[in-house]
Structure 1
Amino acid sequence: MDKIKVIFDTDPGVDDAMALLFLHRAPQVDLVGVTTTFGNGRIATTTWNALYLTERFGIDAPVASGTAAPLVGPVPAPTEFVHGANALGDIDLPERITREADPRPAHRFIIDTVRANPGEITIVAVGRMTNLALALREDPAIVGLVREIIIMGGAFGYNGFHGNVTPVAEANIYGDPLAADEVFGGTWPITVVGLDVTQRTQMTTEYLQALAKDGGEVGRFIWDITRFYVAFHHAAGVPNMFVHDSSAVAYLLDPTLFATRRGALRVVTEGLAIGQTIQKPDDYNFPPGAWDDRPSHAICIDVDPARLLALYRRTIVGGA
């Protein structure tokens, strides 16, 4: 079986770390690179975390650091109240590591890797989309060379979910809305895994305890980093932990877990609704407008949570 070559674009992040380990343990995945973006921490923190995770768990993939700021505007403050000051749930971390970042900026790493593997690279992007937008700006032709892009971000109103940082905006999109709108304007194949499905899938304390018991070092690490993250959910009135970034990996591994809808995508880039994601469905007719001449992409509108959680457990525990 040919493995799927994946670049993981990420801002580790508790749920990012869980998704990275999901990819690492998946036998059908060849993780060829990790690119970092700001978000759950500043770029120095997220890049250090990616280097630490790849070193600690023997993940043989280069790490390339992305830009420290969105395409326009100031850098949003890190979400320390969600992921902790070190973005990994404030667990104890070593003072130094030996692994070093690739000398190329993340967007150049993406371009070089895609061009070296035409038609073979899937990008799983679970942070701000600044790296993808910069790659698209520098080398627009790569849209025809990427196998697929799977994005964790956005919310389209399915299952009652609209936003998690404003009433209409999800955090990854809100952090660089212009980048997201530019990426959605590219003709590369995109599937968006948004809050519509990620908030339907939740990990209970019992589920996480079982991972810690049966998943070896990885399972115990997941338990440790999720203590802070779960406490944030509880403080927000959510009894269990949402499965955000790992849902994007689940789509890569088994798309049959999800139902999708196709249509052109736009992101609101200014004003009260900045960061809102909107789809014009392919089977609807509207008067001429800002969605015209935009490519059709897929968004996930439903999910089988039980099968997704079973896939995550099977993949983590199977590699223990």
Structure 2
Amino acid sequence: MVTTYAITVPDDKRTKRYERRRRTQGRIRKSIVPTTMLWVLAVLMLFPLLWFLLSSFKPGSELFSYPLSFFPREWTLDGYAAALERIDFARYFLNTAIVATVTTVLTVALCAMTGYALAKYKNPWLSVLGLCILSMTMLPGEVILNPLFIVIRDLGLYNSLAGVIIPSIITPTGVFMFRQFFITIPDELMQAARIDGASEFGIFFRIMMPLARPIALTLAIMSFQWRWNDYIFPLIILGNPEQFTLQIALRALVGAENIEWTILLSASVLSMLPLIALYLVFQRYITSSNINAGLKD
């Protein structure tokens, strides 16, 4: 004889399960419209980039053929081969890498020091200096190109990579970013470090900079992108073709009557690769830091 037992679920558990299912379905229904809008926006922004990337694999005769095609009918790498041969791509790539890397390292270091001094040291002159630096964000860069060129020429930095690097080191945006971050760090952390015998340089390099790592990496990515894509300033400072950066070299492909589109598109794609690699490597570090990690209640 087999005995069977009926298992009953209390009504309160059924009610809670139903409520959870109903809330989940409600969140899904509410997220459909925003998610759809974000996907549409992403596709609209990605479409020109994909067209640009796929066009670099098209032969010159296919770029302006009618009807236009999104995907290449005939895939070719001739444009990339010509770009590497025609414009001395390796030299210009190296010049641009030197300018962007050296400028980024110096920008992060000096902006961090300046922002730390403005945030943590109490001095009337520092307040005036901070106001002057902040006011520079309201001044268009084109306004100071002429006097900046005169200063660089008189210092003997004309037609050299140093003339491009040195004026670009301090950025008001970077100083402001570090200052606003260091203000949020409690002064008790610095006082505790001083009681333990830490020097001012030790406090800055061993405590403040590790906490400000997300800000430093964010500014590094922004600065590298600014200097890698900079065109106007290197165009004014550099006159020797051997010192050209990549952006000036790409501009040389645009002639008065003819534009070599296959080479220009392929070289432009190659110039984007370092920026994409930089972002993919460091994007996971751009997170909020826990400022209160070193404090006790």
Please report the TM-score for the alignment, with normalisation by the length of structure 1: 0.21
Kindly indicate which of the two structures has a greater share of residues assigned to helix: 2
Kindly indicate which of the two structures has a greater share of residues assigned to strand: 1
Please report the TM-score for the alignment, with normalisation by the length of structure 2: 0.22
Greater RCO between the two (CA within 8 Å, min separation 6)? 2
